[in-house]
């Protein structure tokens, strides 16, 4: 639920705050257990650079890829904003909502971290 909490904090800022916001993976759908999602947050109020990172094959019931794509439209004031999409890696037969699955980018750890670091460098003008 870290991404939901981080988005909620960013949406409540009047000024200042973090240099950017990273949402990975983004919880976007309610379930019997999950009642607050990224869509429960005033996403339109987020004004800091925002990166959404999601695995296209994520099978977690509360994190469907299609809703992560739709969430990007709600981030109307985040600038810049970007959706990084990953495919492949390792798939586990365990819980699809845990780290040892597409939900946790299993087998793509280095690729995901490098992509996130690259985006941070771009928004801060570093090389």
Q: Indicate the domain borders of the chain.
A: 2-123
What's the pLDDT band for 51 if we cut at 50, 70, 90?
very high
Q: What is the pLDDT of residue 127?
A: 46
Quote the mean pLDDT of the chain.
Answer: 83
User: Are 84 and 55 in contact, with CB atoms under 8 Å apart?
Assistant: no
Distance of CA 1 to the CA centre of its chain: 11
């Amino acid at each position: 639920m870290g991404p939901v909490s981080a988005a909620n904090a960013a949406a409540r800022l009047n000024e200042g705050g973090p240099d950017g916001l990273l949402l990975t993976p983004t919880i976007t759908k309610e379930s019997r257990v999950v009642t607050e999602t990224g869509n429960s947050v005033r996403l339109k109020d987020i004004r800091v650079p925002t990166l959404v990172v999601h695995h296209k094959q994520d099978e977690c019931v509360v994190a469907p890829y299609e809703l992560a794509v739709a969430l990007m439209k709600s981030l109307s004031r985040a600038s810049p904003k970007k959706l990084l999409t990953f495919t492949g890696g390792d798939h586990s037969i365990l819980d699809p909502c845990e780290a040892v699955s597409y939900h946790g980018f299993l087998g793509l750890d280095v690729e995901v971290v490098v992509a996130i670091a690259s985006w941070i460098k771009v928004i801060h003008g570093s090389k």
